[in-house]
Amino acid sequence: MSLRNRELVFLIPALVVTTLGFALVYTQKSAELTLTSLTYGALFLALFVIAHLGVRLLASRADCYLLPITALLSTMGLVVLYRLNEDLALKQAMWLVAGLAVFLLVLAFVRNLNMLYKYRYVIGGLGLLLLLLTAVLGREVHGARLWVNLGPIGFQPGELAKVFLMVFFAAYLVDMREVLTVSTRRVLGVPLPPFRYLAPLLIIWGLSLALMIFVKDLGASLLFFGALLALLYVATGRFFYVLVGLALFAIGAIALYFLFPHVQLRVDIWLDPWADPSNRGYQIVQSLFALAEGGLFGRGLGGGYLFLPSGRTIIPHLETDFVFSAIGEELGLVGAVGIILLYLIFTYRGFRVAVSTKDDFSRLLATGLTSIFALQAFLIIGGVIKLIPLTGITLPFVSYGGSSILANFILLALLLRASAKAREV
């Protein structure tokens, strides 16, 4: 079977999930089954078939698993959102349309990744500008300044900035690669490049800290740092950078812990949410309760106890940061593991793309994009299941949020472009 036909076949599970999911939620909400679920199913089919045709036309040799996985994830997200809040689901559906449009636009206009390399400083500048925009114009919501108002639409520039900056850093590391791997002296037997070549590491570190200090976005800060460290390691092949990076991370983390009550609180809650389960630890405690309630097979879509009598969700930010808890409660361990495995497969395919590429820039870009995607999934899932301290970021493609959807579709388009390029003869 050709790549694209295989992609088409793999879209079928996602179609089934949408139709069945909406049908289930719908029967939960009102006793009789109407055409709504089928409408959503048809809408979904149309959308992703268009996307598929776009890929067929614009990047016919691209990886055939990434789009179906994206489709499954965004569909699951949409079904869960529909169950939580119909209005949000409708908005999310519109964001998905916009996301797919952007996806096709990127595929159409970025025919060659070298184009991005050429404009690396423009793109990097744009990324920084977006971050600055957030720091200056952003309004603070729940202790973090992430939102910028664009007319009626709230927007999180940080989400887009993360893709732009990744492009810039991949390009920058291609330039720096040579010098970074040349060791001129050894300190205690460790090959050490000239100090000035450590600059990129320090820049990343500084940027992450700045992000944390000015935007108070712990999640994005961790994300940048982790993904860029991964990129540096792949670019140089030097484990030494990872060690220095981790040391810098430790210093930064400890400093942040003592300087920012907001960070300290997060860590303290993580260490012992039971110290104050109805107040400070409430969110994570309720998330654990939801997961425990779900057990192995879950309570079924619509069967979870997600709303208080007042109509508010029992876990604050259920639609965004904590959407994974809702999935864990309603679809059980089975469903939650399914989601994690989808992210793992996406990550695997992403790195496969990276390995298959023929030039350094594509390779680093694919690695960086995949890393940032995988790390984001890990950070938020790990946060809501209390594996690591909670950082408020979205679950890629699943959480409600327009900026996140757009950014991740750009990320997907770039990965597919890298993949298609690699297979060209």
Partner 1 sequence: MDKPIRRLFWFFVILFVALLLQLTYVQVFDASDLKAKPTNTRAVEQEMKVERGVIVSVDGVELAVNREEGQYYLREYPQSGLTSPWLGYNSLRYGRAGIERVYNEELSGKSGLLGITGYWDELMGKTHRGADLKLTVNAALQKVAAEALGERKGAVIALDPRTGAVLAMVSYPRYDPNGLIDSSVMGAVWSEINSDPDTPLLNRAVQGRYPPGSVFKIIVAAAALETGVVTPDSHFVDTGSVTAGGFVVGNFGDSVYGEHDFTKAFASSINTTFAKVGVDLGADVLAEYAAGFGFGKDSPWPLGGSTSIFPDAGSMDKAHIAQASYGQGRVLASPLQIALSVAAVANQGRIMKPYVVAQVLDYHKKVLNETDPRVWLQPISSGTADTLRDLMVEAVANGTGTRAALSDVQVAGKTGTAEVADGGPHAWFAGFAPAKDPQVVVAVLVENAGTGGSVAAPIARQVISAALGL
CB proximity list for 46: less than 8 A, separation 6 or greater: none
The reply to whether 386 sits near partner 1 by the rule CB under 8 A is yes
**Which 3 state secondary structure label does DSSP give 144?**
strand
* Residue 97: C-alpha distances to residues 51, 92, 343, 408 (Å): 10, 9, 22, 13
Among 79, 223, 285, 414, binds partner 1 (CB under 8 A): 285
Residue 43 binds partner 1, judged by CB under 8 A:
no
Binding to partner 1 by residue 309, rule CB under 8 A? yes
For 304, counting Cβ atoms within 10 Å of its Cβ (0-12 exposed, 13-18 middle, 19+ buried), the class is buried
Closer residue to partner 1, CB minimum distance, 178 or 188: 178
State which residue, 258 or 274, has the beta carbon closest to partner 1.
Answer: 274
Q: How far is the CB of 129 from partner 1 (least distance, A)?
A: 29
Counting DSSP H helices and E strands in the chain, the numbers are: 15, 5
Which residue lies nearer to partner 1 by CB, 125 or 237?
Answer: 237
Select 22 or 147, whichever has its Cβ closest to partner 1. Answer: 22
Taking CB under 8 A as the criterion, the residue among 59, 76, 381, 411 binding partner 1 is: 381
Provide, rounded to whole angstroms, the least separation between the CB of residue 137 and partner 1. 34
| Helix, strand, coil tally for the chain in percent (to 5) | 75, 5, 20
- Stretch binding partner 1 (CB under 8 A), from 8-16, 120-128, 359-367, 398-406: 359-367
Does the protein bind partner 1 through residue 340 (CB under 8 A)?
A: yes
Main-chain phi, psi angles of 150, to 5 degrees: -115, 90
Answer yes or no whether residue 288 interacts with partner 1 by CB under 8 A: yes
CA distance 318 to 193: 47
- Pick the piece of the chain touching partner 1 (CB under 8 A) from 48-56, 131-139, 158-166, 325-333: 325-333
> Terminus-to-terminus CA distance in the chain, angstroms?
19
> Facing residues of 170 across strands?
none
Alpha-carbon span 405 to 330, nearest angstrom: 23
The count of other CB atoms within 10 Å of the CB of residue 245 is: 20
Q: Kindly tell me which of 160 and 234 has the beta carbon lying closer to partner 1.
A: 234
Q: What is the DSSP string of 244-289?
A: HHHHHHHHHHHHHHHH-HHHHHHHHHHH-GGGSTTTTTHHHHHHHH
354 part of the interface to partner 1, by CB under 8 A: yes
Q: Which range binds partner 1 by CB under 8 A, 129-137, 155-163, 293-301, 394-402?
A: 293-301
Nearer to partner 1 by C-beta: 16 or 355? 355
Q: In sequence order, what are the residues at sequence separation of 6 or more whose Cβ sits closer than 8 angstroms to the Cβ of residue 299?
A: 293, 305, 329, 330, 332
- What count of Cα atoms within 13 Å lies in the side-chain half-sphere of residue 60? 5
Check binding of 355 to partner 1 (CB under 8 A): yes
Size, binding site for partner 1 by CB under 8 A: 50
Q: How far is the CB of 109 from partner 1 (least distance, A)?
A: 27
DSSP string, 47-105: HHHHHHHHHHHH-TTS-SSHHHHHHHHHHHHHHHHHHH-HHHHHHHHHHHHHHHHHHHH
> Segment contacting partner 1 (CB under 8 A): 132-140, 185-193, 201-209, 228-236?
228-236
> Exactly one of 99, 127, 219, 294 binds partner 1 (CB under 8 A); which one?
294
The yes or no reply on residue 194 touching partner 1 (CB under 8 A) is no
Among 302, 317, 338, 423, binds partner 1 (CB under 8 A): 302
Which of 78, 212, 235, 415 forms a contact with partner 1 (CB under 8 A)?
Answer: 235
Q: Which is nearer to partner 1, 207 or 366 (CB)?
A: 366
Interface contacts to partner 1, rule CB under 8 A: 27-28, 230, 233-235, 237, 274, 277-278, 285, 288-296, 300, 302-303, 305, 309, 328, 332-333, 336-337, 340, 343-344, 347-348, 351, 354-355, 360, 363, 367, 371, 374-375, 378, 381-382, 385-387
